Amino acid sequence: MKVLLFNGSPKTNGNTYQALCEAAHILNLAGINTEIIQVGSVRVSGCIACGGCAGGSGCVLPDPWFAQVTKKAIECDGMIFGSPVYFAGMNGTMKAFLDRLFYQRGIRQHFRLKVGAAVAVCRRAGSVGTFDEINHYFLISEMLIAPSTYWNNVLALQPGDAQNDGEGLRTMRNMARNMAWMLQMKQATRQAIPLPEAEKL
């Protein structure tokens, strides 16, 4: 099994990355493969609402990086999206990325009943709103959400400060343990309990 962890920060080794690493470590201990995908330093265009994805083959913007990441997202078992908090919301690059990833017709159905988790990293304020924002993408895609012992946020300012937020890092580890359990439950019950069918509009 594999979980993708997306770092929305432009800082490749900043606090969001470190929060994600904490979760990845626990997933690895549970025998689950992980890959951290750097999003925040990529020039990601937002959705231009062209409707081109209605053809069912994904986003038609010429963007080989995005196409490759979409393929990985289809194939993985779980996804964790980490964003730094900018002005009390997720950062712009992460928003552009998530809008395009989840809007793709014919693609989003592959995310159905995969396990997801949101992570928000901030200095002081805005993490809960950011956490909620990211959860909206899971909930409209029929994804399962891994819970934790707090809302998944880490408080940190300068790169590296994340290591000083013991409760935040513990929240990441508990979320990752619960995600591992959900993935293992899904795998173990695959034959006995088939996935439910959704009614189509």
Ligand X SMILES: Cc1cc2nc3c(=O)[nH]c(=O)nc-3n(C[C@H](O)[C@H](O)[C@H](O)COP(=O)(O)O)c2cc1C
What dihedral do alpha carbons 43, 11, 16, 143 form, nearest 10°? 10
Name the minimum Å distance from CB 80 to ligand X: 14
Q: Given the rule CB under 6 A, which of 8-16, 21-29, 43-51, 185-193 is the region that contacts ligand X?
A: 8-16
DSSP 3-state of 37: strand
Instruction: Verify binding: residue 159, ligand X, rule CB under 6 A.
Output: yes
Q: What is the C-alpha separation between 43 and 40, in angstroms, rounded?
A: 8
Residue 74's H or E segment, with its range, is helix 64-75
- Residue 57's identity, in one-letter code, is S
- The stretch among 115-123, 139-147, 176-184, 193-201 that binds ligand X (CB under 6 A) is 115-123
* End-to-end Cα, the chain, rounded Å: 32
Per CB under 6 A, 78 contacts ligand X: no
In the complex, what is the shortest distance from the CB of residue 149 to ligand X, in angstroms, rounded to a whole number?
A: 21
Structure tokens at 96: 């552009």
| Residue 124 found at the interface with ligand X (CB under 6 A) | yes
d(CA 14, CA 36): 13
* 110 counts as binding ligand X under rule CB under 6 A: no
Which residue, 162 or 176, is less far from ligand X as judged by CB? 162
Tell me which residues touch ligand X (CB under 6 A). Answer: 9, 11, 14-16, 84-88, 121-126, 156-157, 159
